[in-house]
Amino acid sequence: MRFLKLFPSDFQALFIFIFLIGAYLSMTSAAQAEVNPRYRYSNTFVKSFNQDWSAFLYQEFDTDNHGHPDLNAIDQELGLVYSGAARWLDLGMAMGRYDGKSGANWDDINFPFQFITLKWAGCGVEVSDRNRVEEEYPEHGAYDTRYRNDLTLATAKKWTPFELQPFISDEIFYDFDARYLAEDQLIIGFNFKVTKNITAALSYMMDESHIRGANKDFWKDQPMAILTTTISF
């Protein structure tokens, strides 16, 4: 690509990253042409009390597209984060509620959880590793415990006045009671700045769910387009 030499190295790296995202999405979309895509919008309100303590309210809305948009899941979480132990460590606890649509009915799950996030920056990247344990209390069903590990890599460099920051993350869900890996979510996208107090992200997720049937186990792949916003006070 000789024409890339006409641009500064930072823009070359950004162009290559966007090209790779486009290629990945094109191949994945072609492979998943017969799968109804899903869409997600999530927003987080963050209130910082001082350098050590902050609170957050997270809300997530999932929509299926079976010929027309259909809201089928709502996730809400309210929690506290403590960052005073070390610069590379966040400790948190929260209470969550998940409402999922099953046919014409809605079922809810309450899930308190705790998490530890390890952070590191160097060699041009920012790395975070969130370890989360949640206890699920469904409206219909048995008590369950899950472990979630979310590993995220983002570029330390941010481009343009919008502070574009590419990232890739992978989150695995392990079911302690059933003793198996229940889900794997691979996300690729970029963060950007909207205003001084508002940031956002556009991303694409491939969600792999482990389905345990009577005769065999299999993995179900389903793509999702995601818009995320964060509002800080």
Q: Return all residues near 139 (Cβ < 8 A) that are at least 6 apart.
A: 107, 108, 109
For the chain, domains (ranges, CATH) are 2-232 (2.40.160)
The C-alpha atoms of residue 67 and residue 9 are separated, in whole angstroms, by: 43
Taking a C-beta distance cutoff of 8 angstroms, is the pair 197, 209 a contact? no
| Structural tokens at position 82 | 């403590």
Taking a C-beta distance cutoff of 8 angstroms, is the pair 152, 128 a contact? yes
The C-alpha atoms of residue 37 and residue 62 are separated, in whole angstroms, by: 11
Give the model confidence (pLDDT) of 96-134 as tens digits: 999 998 777 899 999 999 999 999 999 999 999 999 999
Q: Which of 193, 188, 204, 203 is nearest to 230 (CA)?
A: 193
**Confidence category of residue 8, pLDDT binned at 50, 70, 90:** very low
| Structural tokens at position 27 | 């191949």
Taking a C-beta distance cutoff of 8 angstroms, is the pair 92, 80 a contact? yes
Q: Collapse the DSSP code of 87 into the 3-class scheme (helix H, G, I; strand E, B; otherwise coil) and give the result.
A: coil
Write down the pTM of the prediction. 0.83
